[in-house]
């Protein structure tokens, strides 16, 4: 396939991907497929001209962000923040009583959670945020999650190009990297701007994006959600505060948890590959190498409605499964502990729990957020199965032993345990179950294996004794 056709395919893939993002509320649109007949008659390239026109407008005034330190990496974060703020738009200031209401709700939630878990209160600073505050406070953690994915995407995109194309773009690589950085920045900015108006708490969706030591609620976003529920606003605030307080207990007192989530994303990113063969096949069939403007216009019209997004997968399936399971275990534990803490104190607790399940099913879930913001594709975490597992574990061994499972990542249930919890629970029922002893035994086993491997290597590398040869 010619380089011109490949360029058209790549541009259409980017535009198609961005258009799809725009249709569900995340991202920038090039508006390809505009059906203005008069304009198309005057412009033989139709939608291609519109695409380039808007692309030029996008570049206007962005020189400062491209040259800033924030614009030099795989993602132009200065551009992302700028677009996110524009996307958020006008934000009503927090009311005078919002902070006090949030503090009191979290204080009550902590009191009730004490009877549902042995993990102590986080001791965090409690804050009420608006959308701009959420964007500013959570951006550092989003950078940790997004950067490795964007860097590997750049590597994978270059690797997916034909050899002749790679040789020709070599001199333009720096410019292409800047354009890619801007593209990631635009997508991230639109995604974060949209999410900022919907998220309800600092660690919503089981993602610990709030700064360590901070528990946050977004009262304005919550009030919009409350309007769609037939529940008292105070009940909804207490319910949400309990969920946030429960998550923060995990993130504060399970020291390995946050880094395990981040490292799973990094491992997922390290295995990213891009398959564009279906795009190349489509373009080859359209014969874009003819150079005929009318033929190209017809081809562009045929491209409308086609899915030309590159197929992005990760070869690190273990990291994918670990991330899915960990997110499910966190939210499942929060579901179970929240309901246990509120069930006899808040009459609407069960109804609100069901409302949260519906929210997860309609896009308010970690997999949806990670897909739109971080560009990683995982299955929906099996939160309901995880909540049921935690409930059964508590029935079998009690609250204390249930929560000691969080002492070490190797003690946690895996994906198979979520489907078949009986065997996992059987392993906890022995009277001699001791989480610390289990960890110590595991570390001894790993140390012994390491020493054994080192001994074998030394033996293999040792020179032959000359005397042995003489004896022969």
Q: How far apart are CA 305 and CA 299, in angstroms?
A: 12
* Token pair listed for 327: 């997110």
* Token pair listed for 83: 């677009």
The closest of 210, 179, 190 to 81, measured between CA atoms, is 190
Residue pLDDT tens, the chain, 472 long: 444 444 444 444 444 444 433 443 332 222 323 444 444 444 444 454 554 554 554 555 455 555 555 556 899 999 999 999 999 999 999 998 999 999 999 999 999 999 999 999 999 999 999 999 999 999 999 999 999 999 998 888 777 777 777 677 666 777 878 888 999 999 999 999 999 999 999 999 999 999 999 999 999 999 999 998 989 999 999 999 999 999 999 999 999 999 999 999 999 999 888 777 777 777 676 666 666 777 777 777 777 766 666 677 788 889 999 999 999 999 999 999 999 999 999 999 999 999 999 999 988 899 999 999 998 888 999 999 999 999 999 999 999 999 999 999 999 999 999 998 999 999 898 755 565 666 666 667 767 777 766 666 665 565 555 555 454 4
Q: In the 3-class helix/strand/coil scheme, how is 58-117 assigned residue by residue?
A: HHCCCHHHHHCHHHCCCCCHHHHHHHHHHHHCCCCCCCCCHHHHHHHHHHHHHHHHCCCC
Q: What is the pLDDT of residues 213-270, one digit of tens each?
A: 999 999 999 999 999 898 999 999 999 999 999 999 999 999 999 999 999 999 999 9
**400, 118 Cβ separation under 8 angstroms:** yes
- H helices of 122-276, where? 131-160, 163-169, 173-196, 219-226, 233-253, 257-270
Torsion of CA 296, 298, 299, 301, to 10 degrees: 130
**314, 271 Cβ separation under 8 angstroms:** yes
Q: What is the pLDDT of residues 31-42, one digit of tens each?
A: 323 444 444 444
């Amino acid at each position: 396939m010619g380089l011109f056709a490949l360029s058209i395919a790549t541009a259409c893939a980017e535009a198609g991907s961005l258009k799809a993002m725009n249709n569900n509320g995340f991202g920038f649109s090039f508006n390809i497929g505009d059906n203005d007949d008069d304009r198309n008659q005057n412009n033989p390239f139709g939608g291609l001209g519109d695409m380039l026109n808007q692309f030029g407008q996008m570049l206007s005034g962005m020189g400062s962000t491209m040259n800033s330190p924030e614009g030099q990496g795989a993602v132009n974060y200065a551009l992302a923040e700028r677009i996110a703020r524009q996307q958020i738009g006008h934000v009503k200031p927090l009311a005078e009583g919002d902070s006090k209401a949030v503090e009191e709700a979290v204080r009550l939630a902590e009191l009730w959670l004490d009877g549902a878990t042995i993990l102590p209160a986080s001791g965090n600073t409690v804050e009420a945020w608006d959308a701009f505050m959420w964007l500013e406070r959570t951006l550092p953690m989003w950078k940790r999650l997004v950067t490795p994915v964007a860097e590997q995407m750049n590597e994978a995109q270059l690797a997916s190009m034909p050899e002749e194309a790679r040789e020709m773009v070599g001199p333009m690589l720096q410019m292409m990297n800047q354009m890619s950085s801007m593209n990631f920045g635009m997508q991230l900015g639109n995604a974060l701007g949209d999410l900022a108006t919907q998220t309800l708490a600092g660690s919503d969706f089981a993602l610990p994006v709030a700064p360590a030591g901070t528990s946050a609620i977004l009262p304005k976003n919550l009030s919009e959600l409350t309007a769609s529920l037939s529940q008292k606003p105070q009940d909804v605030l207490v319910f949400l505060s309990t969920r946030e307080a429960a998550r923060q207990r995990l993130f504060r007192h399970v020291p390995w948890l946050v880094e395990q989530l981040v490292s799973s994303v990094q491992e997922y990113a390290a295995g990213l590959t891009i398959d564009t063969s279906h795009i190349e096949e489509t373009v080859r069939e359209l014969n874009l190498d003819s150079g005929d403007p009318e033929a190209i216009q017809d081809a562009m019209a045929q491209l409308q409605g086609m899915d030309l997004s590159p197929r992005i997968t990760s070869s690190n399936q273990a990291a994918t499964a670990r991330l899915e399971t960990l997110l499910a275990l966190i939210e499942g534990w929060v579901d179970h502990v929240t309901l246990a803490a509120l069930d006899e104190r808040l009459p609407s607790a069960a109804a609100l729990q069901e409302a949260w399940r519906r929210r997860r099913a309609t896009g308010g879930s970690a997999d949806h957020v990670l897909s739109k913001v971080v560009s990683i594709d995982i299955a929906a975490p099996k939160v309901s199965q995880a909540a049921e597992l935690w409930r059964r574990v508590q029935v079998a061994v009690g609250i204390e032993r249930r929560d000691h499972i969080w002492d070490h990542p190797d003690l946690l249930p895996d994906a198979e345990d979520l489907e078949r919890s009986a065997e996992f629970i059987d392993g906890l029922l022995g009277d001699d179950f001791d989480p610390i002893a289990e960890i110590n035994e595991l570390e001894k086993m790993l140390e012994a294996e390491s020493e054994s491997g080192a001994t074998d290597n030394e033996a293999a590398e040792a020179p032959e004794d000359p005397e042995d040869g003489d004896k022969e």
